[in-house]
Amino acid sequence: MLHPRGEKGVAFYKRLQFAVMNNGVFNAKKGRKKNINMTLSSELTGSIDEEFRMTFPNEDKSGPFKGAIDSFSLDTEGMINTYKDVHLQLRFLKTEEDKLKTKLKKIIREDKKTIYSSLTETIEENMQKCYTDAAVIKGVGSLEKMRSTINDHVHDKKDTMFKMAKDNMLELLNELRGKILKKLKETLKESIELSLRTDDCSFPDVSLELAMVETFYSQLDANPNPN
């Protein structure tokens, strides 16, 4: 990227100067803008893309987190035939469960973009110093000095900033898991409490089904982290 084919020194110097003054993003020449940070982070994204797609599929019947959300159920439909006198409460719980899954999937869709883009954002943050240093270089040999400033910074900081980018991504992933569990617990607790507000004492014991909330979290936690 710092030695593009077909670009003479003066022309590329101006483009590189623009890039270092704009957080590593070149002005668009043809098609998509080139981005130094994205090029660097591609070494990481390439290694996690397959696992990321499996965890957050765009179009897949298994759903996010390898189907853990879709497979989770209080099995209220299975109870309806046994507990016909409280079928309305059970249908209410089923409706709430379906609504909850929809909300969780929306949260995941929104957060997965942040999680994935965090790699490039962390790289960009770690590249700021060399961009600032390169931006003030003037005079004879400026282009080569700018290239050296960027290359030297990447060489010295690559391992550190790659580890930081990976750690930040995993932290965001764990935050998402925690958010899912919190939403799951709070919503189901509220829904079950609402359904229990009845004088009918024959409402089924759902303690085993509630235990599945913890099992669900274990399923999420058991999914391997992207690496």
- The Cα-based distances of 113 to 9, 75, 101, 118 in angstroms read 37, 32, 19, 8
Q: What's residue 40's pLDDT?
A: 92
Kindly report the average pLDDT of the chain as a whole number: 81
Q: Which residue has the tokens 């391992």?
A: 159
Mean predicted confidence (pLDDT) in 119-132: 95
Is pLDDT above 80 for 11? yes
Q: What's residue 92's pLDDT?
A: 84
Mean predicted confidence (pLDDT) in 127-141: 94
The pLDDT tens digits of the residues spanning 21-47 come to 999 999 876 767 889 999 999 888 877
Phi/psi at 35 (5° precision): -140, 115
Mean predicted confidence (pLDDT) in 171-176: 91
Gap between the Cα atoms of 120 and 138, Å rounded:
28
> Would you say 216 and 113 are in contact if contact means Cβ atoms under 8 Å apart?
no
Domain range summary for the chain, segments of one domain joined by +: 37-222
The tokens describing 131, both together, are 């961009």
Gap between the Cα atoms of 179 and 194, Å rounded:
22
Q: Give the angle 115-57-163 at the CA atoms, nearest 5°.
A: 30
Residue with more model confidence, 192 or 124: 124
Q: For 7, which DSSP code?
A: -
Mean predicted confidence (pLDDT) in 164-189: 89
> Would you say 7 and 137 are in contact if contact means Cβ atoms under 8 Å apart?
no
Regarding pTM above 0.75, the answer is: no
Q: What's residue 187's pLDDT?
A: 87
Residue with more model confidence, 188 or 224: 188
Mean predicted confidence (pLDDT) in 45-74: 71
Residue with more model confidence, 84 or 176: 176
Using DSSP, state whether 16 is helix, strand or coil. Answer: helix
The tokens describing 174, both together, are 């764990």
Residue with more model confidence, 151 or 200: 151
Is pLDDT above 90 for 61? no
Q: Which of 6, 24, 10, 11 is nearest to 134 (CA)?
A: 24
Total number of residues shown for the chain: 227
Share of the chain above pLDDT 70, in %: 81
Beta strands in 101-188 (DSSP E): none
Mean predicted confidence (pLDDT) in 143-162: 94
- The Cα-based distances of 195 to 72, 87, 91, 188, 189 in angstroms read 19, 11, 10, 10, 10
